[in-house]
Structure 1
Amino acid sequence: MSLLAQLYALWWLLLTAIFVLYLTGKYRKYNRLRHFNGPFGTGWSELWHSCVILSFHSHLAYKEVNDKYGPIARVGPNELVTSSPELLAHMNAVRSQYTRSYWFNTATRVEPGKDHVFSQIDEEKHTKRRQQMAAGYSGKENLSLEPDIDGRLNELLNLIRSKYISTTAGSKPMDLARKVQYFTLDVISTIGFGEAFGDLQADTDLNDYIKSGEQGLSVVAISAALGLTKYLQWPPIARLLGPSEKDQSGFGKMMGVARKLIDSRLEKSTEGRSDMLASFIHHGLSKEELFSEAVLQVLAGSDTTATAIRSAMLYLIAHPRVYYRLQAEVDAAVHSGAAPIATSIVQDTTLRNLPYLQAVVREGLRIFPPVTDVVPKKVPKGGDRVTVEGKQYYLPGSTDISYNAWGVHHDKAMFGEDADYFRPERWLPEENKTNEDKLTAMRRTTEMIFGYGKYQCLGKSIAWLEITKVVFEFMRHFDWALAQPDNPWKSTNYMGIFVQEQMWVLVSERD
């Protein structure tokens, strides 16, 4: 046999060996999770999962999967998704051995190779960073937190009153989705940097921060769906394709502004200061860590809180019974003196004592969770045995298990047969005839909207404060109607974060 013929034979032998090894690897992956059912092909390929993420309505697809295949279902060769609150609590508990998964969290890095509190997958470093930041987020070392929010809310109310009041003489449609995001951006920049971006006063997306943020979310979704994260975050490619702090607008501009503000603050003493940045500096965050966390605040803190406010207002306007009952509670608080006069913003101490407002906000978060990211957790080495809904499951080590937010918060077994409908009274035990244990379980479940245990959102209390204040003041000062009830908004889900626009409303001044 000639040398050429021998090489040819070896070539085909090599190809055959590679193909056999490929099929063997595929079969092993399939076999590990063969006891879990899921859509066709998910045991062999990531195609279904990639298509779901790229559909930009992944929250609905995950719910359909768990509704059809049970509380734990397969969505990829090594991926499961669950709608079980008990399993989620088990995985996220403070002493849990489950860890974060690379493919999802790392895709959210602001800069290649540099982690913030959400992208960090090293458990020890993550715990340390949370401890360093907790006081700043809680308000214990950020005494100007509520006044800062009040200042931005006054600007929002003044913007609506000065430019967007509709009367019998004419309508002035307002895109509530945009105005609310101007508010949340200005709030987060004020409490995070000490200086508002100024969108509310300008009534525009200054420097295209919102536009570039949406573009960034789409890039994160596409890179994660196609498995491109490790390539796009390779420094040479990131420098070539990513934003630059020298950009004159967009995300790069925002990064540049953040860098300058942080540099300026580091040159001054933090003695006597009580804002969030001062707290972070006091607890030992480095210059680069401050930068990553500050930019994360803007990206994560503005979109999610804006979505919560929009959805609460949308469901309120669409349910007149709830709308007028909440308005009556707000008016009663004002007339009794519990809330301040109209020129001042209601305080948190008053909001906490308004049961129907609290029920409306909680129900708004439940019916339309503002964050549906799957935040997968990796099963510890050696695997784990869990009991879900009375049935035992074995979870192989290194399996990724994702969170099905829509399924969890629309679960009829937990919230009743009308779980797909907006009814704040389900949170009022005296009206819903719900025993205390059941109500506690419901509340604990909805708390998962903000994460749970060692992964709970640090900004939870800030978000709740913003939402309740805005809803109260909106109901106190204005009457609301949908300008286009047949098409109330345009909503897109970028791997768990909603981008919403064109929520046209008609606002009239209350007597």
Structure 2
Amino acid sequence: MALQIVLDYLLTFPNNLIILLGLIFLYWVVYSIYSVFFHHYSDVPGPFWAKVSRLWLAKQVLSGTVDQTQRDLHAKYGSVVRIAPNEVSISDPDAIKTIYAVKNAFSKTDFYTPFAPHLSPNEDLFTQRDEKHHSYRRRFVNNIYSLKSVLESEPFIDQVTAVFRTRLDEFAVSGQIIDIGLWLQMYAFDVVGELFYGKQFGFLKNSHDYENYIDSLDALLPALSTICVLPAYVRPLQVFGSLVPQIRKGKTCYDKIVLAAKQVVKERQQLMMTDKVQRTDILDKLFQLSADKEDFSIPDIETEAWVSIFAGSDTTSIATRSILYHLLMTPDALAKLTNEVDNAVADGTLSDPIKHSEAVKLPYLSACCKEGFRVHPSVGMSMPRHVSDPGATICGRYFAPGYRVGMSAAVVHWDKSIFGQDADVYNPDRWLQPEGKEMERYLLHFGAGTRTCIGKNIALAEIYKLIPDLVRRYRFEVIEPEKVQKHSFWFFKQTGFNVRVHRRERASEGRLV
């Protein structure tokens, strides 16, 4: 109230705007002096402008290369780097067990708030910042997202794979060059449709970006990820983002996804009333949960459906792209995996369609997948947390409660002390060494601790079934690999992964697989 009176007074006299701007500048100078010399993080090294304003971090995020920026900063300054006035990035892999602990977990910061769909009074698990409430809500749905539960829907994933094969066969005949990265995302979207929406969206069948979901999310994420790192008091200005055509398109898509989530829940309710539901998918299980749990309402089901689209397609397709791209660019690894898959088919341990339970028993396939997750995680930014009471000692330094710390998978996964001197290259064989099991503790591609991705088992089911199927049936010729690009706008997405598809011949029979 007092501040409002002062502002009203200033703005009633000539030249008072200049005075106001002068006061703002003076405040910034004083704050900068405090931040550089007296702040709790004043002793932490980092770029000068990162110490005085979060705008420096916002600029790095908006560039789409914050993953490389953070690796460069840690190479220059060490394991603890200041990336904003009140936030540090930590690269020491041993800090994972402290920052992302299961017990006394550090809570999420307001970084995640802009992602919230606001469909239910209960925040979704991703944006929920209260650890106790998150734990309470997660217990509701843990069984639904368990591997056993997900695999009960395995036939629905197989149906999507069958459509994908049809498209790839057509491309093999035509010789058309395709962006396989785009098709992998359309595959992931149609799996989401089968599991949460009762049907495929038609990305694959119609060879089309359904409702422009992919294009629109790509337009929205640069602005959204930038807003996430800005101070909370600046975020109301995001309403002006609608003046930018790209952001307006992304916001329209965001609203469409909200409506789609509401509509599918409404349609399933109507089918249930007439006893016409003939499938047991994840959506059906969410309704069963709602009937059993008073605290899990229809808006909560809508929220789960919304999250499945927003988070379930990009993350899975990024991981699948990474595995496939690095295999194609590493001929020795591809040859080993092809041999393993062919032998498994020959001795009858891989059926058609491939079962998840069969695929996970292939050691080199598992090594290839883990290495794909490692060299290119689905998220390329820090996952910030507030230090919990009573504070913590990390990398030999005390961090007081309430201050921000975070780690990036794009940094930790390249740590040579854990993953070897060749940590910057794709080498699946590292996972077959005696220390392979120990290295798994340091993978952050699905998050860590209490906040491990709830959809992890859905992604793993898709990936472990699809990759050996592609290797078994097709040969991909990468076209101009130098044009493949990576952009880290929270999701660490690859673009320009163009290939020509060829059907493989079974050598012993001279026929197409």
TM-score by length of 2: 0.85
Match of 1:508 among 480, 499, 502: 502
What is residue 422 of structure 2 aligned with on the other side?
Answer: 418
> Aligned runs of 1:61-460 on 2, under 5 Å?
61-102=69-110, 104-111=111-118, 115-142=123-150, 144-161=152-169, 163-165=170-172, 171-227=175-231, 231-232=235-236, 250-267=253-270, 268=272, 274-284=280-290, 285-340=296-351, 344-386=352-394, 388=395, 392-429=396-433, 434=434, 438-446=435-443, 448-460=444-456
| Amino acid of the structure 2 residue aligned with 1:85 | P
State whether residues 54 and 225 of structure 1, in contact with CA within 8 Å, keep that contact through their aligned partners in structure 2.
no
Structure 1 pair 286/373, CA: closer, same or farther in 2 (3 Å)?
farther
Match of 1:479 among 467, 475, 485: 475
Structure 1 pair 227/11, CA: closer, same or farther in 2 (3 Å)?
closer
Q: SS in structure 1 opposite 2:383?
A: coil
- C-alpha distance in 2, partners of 1:26/1:77? 9
Match of 1:467 among 463, 470, 473: 463
Q: SS in structure 1 opposite 2:50?
A: coil
> What are the superposed Cα offsets for residues 240-291 of structure 1, whole Å, 9 maximum, x if unpaired?
9999xxx998443333222111012234269996421232233332222222
State whether residues 117 and 258 of structure 2, in contact with CA within 8 Å, keep that contact through their aligned partners in structure 1.
no
- C-alpha distance in 2, partners of 1:468/1:186? 17
| Amino acid of the structure 1 residue aligned with 2:117 | V
State whether residues 119 and 303 of structure 2, in contact with CA within 8 Å, keep that contact through their aligned partners in structure 1.
no
Q: SS in structure 2 opposite 1:41?
A: helix
Q: SS in structure 2 opposite 1:458?
A: coil
> What are the superposed Cα offsets for residues 334-368 of structure 1, whole Å, 9 maximum, x if unpaired?
0001112xxx2111121111111111111111111
- C-alpha distance in 1, partners of 2:28/2:233? 23
- Bigger mean CA offset, 249-258 vs 368-377: 249-258
Q: SS in structure 1 opposite 2:72?
A: helix
Structure 1 pair 424/227, CA: closer, same or farther in 2 (3 Å)?
same
Structure 1 pair 12/149, CA: closer, same or farther in 2 (3 Å)?
closer
What is residue 4 of structure 1 aligned with on the other side?
Answer: none
Match of 1:38 among 43, 46, 63: 46
| Amino acid of the structure 2 residue aligned with 1:490 | Q
> What are the superposed Cα offsets for residues 219-244 of structure 1, whole Å, 9 maximum, x if unpaired?
3123224446874499x88999999x
State whether residues 150 and 457 of structure 2, in contact with CA within 8 Å, keep that contact through their aligned partners in structure 1.
no
State whether residues 223 and 232 of structure 1, in contact with CA within 8 Å, keep that contact through their aligned partners in structure 2.
no
**Offset, 1:377:** 0.3
- Bigger mean CA offset, 498-507 vs 219-228: 219-228
TM-score by length of 1: 0.86
> What are the superposed Cα offsets for residues 88-120 of structure 1, whole Å, 9 maximum, x if unpaired?
221221212411101x11021124896321111
Match of 2:487 among 482, 492, 508: 492
- C-alpha distance in 1, partners of 2:398/2:500? 54
Structure 1 pair 185/337, CA: closer, same or farther in 2 (3 Å)?
same
Unaligned runs of 5+ in 1: 1-6
| Amino acid of the structure 1 residue aligned with 2:297 | S
- Bigger mean CA offset, 15-24 vs 353-362: 15-24
State whether residues 42 and 48 of structure 1, in contact with CA within 8 Å, keep that contact through their aligned partners in structure 2.
yes
**Offset, 1:143:** 5.5
| Amino acid of the structure 1 residue aligned with 2:477 | A
Structure 1 pair 230/35, CA: closer, same or farther in 2 (3 Å)?
closer
State whether residues 133 and 279 of structure 1, in contact with CA within 8 Å, keep that contact through their aligned partners in structure 2.
no
- C-alpha distance in 2, partners of 1:138/1:462? 9
Q: SS in structure 1 opposite 2:220?
A: helix
| Amino acid of the structure 1 residue aligned with 2:488 | N
Q: How many residues were matched structurally?
A: 480
Q: SS in structure 2 opposite 1:43?
A: helix
State whether residues 62 and 222 of structure 2, in contact with CA within 8 Å, keep that contact through their aligned partners in structure 1.
no
**Offset, 1:157:** 0.9
Structure 1 pair 248/206, CA: closer, same or farther in 2 (3 Å)?
farther
**Offset, 1:300:** 0.9
Structure 1 pair 498/27, CA: closer, same or farther in 2 (3 Å)?
same
State whether residues 31 and 52 of structure 2, in contact with CA within 8 Å, keep that contact through their aligned partners in structure 1.
no
What is residue 5 of structure 2 aligned with on the other side?
Answer: none
| Amino acid of the structure 1 residue aligned with 2:329 | A
- C-alpha distance in 1, partners of 2:164/2:198? 18
State whether residues 79 and 90 of structure 2, in contact with CA within 8 Å, keep that contact through their aligned partners in structure 1.
yes
- C-alpha distance in 2, partners of 1:209/1:451? 25
- C-alpha distance in 2, partners of 1:107/1:78? 19
Structure 1 pair 113/256, CA: closer, same or farther in 2 (3 Å)?
closer
State whether residues 102 and 450 of structure 2, in contact with CA within 8 Å, keep that contact through their aligned partners in structure 1.
yes
Structure 1 pair 224/113, CA: closer, same or farther in 2 (3 Å)?
farther
- C-alpha distance in 2, partners of 1:464/1:124? 27
- C-alpha distance in 2, partners of 1:237/1:151? 43
- C-alpha distance in 1, partners of 2:429/2:155? 31
| Amino acid of the structure 1 residue aligned with 2:73 | V
- C-alpha distance in 1, partners of 2:430/2:150? 34
- C-alpha distance in 2, partners of 1:240/1:79? 31
| Amino acid of the structure 1 residue aligned with 2:178 | M
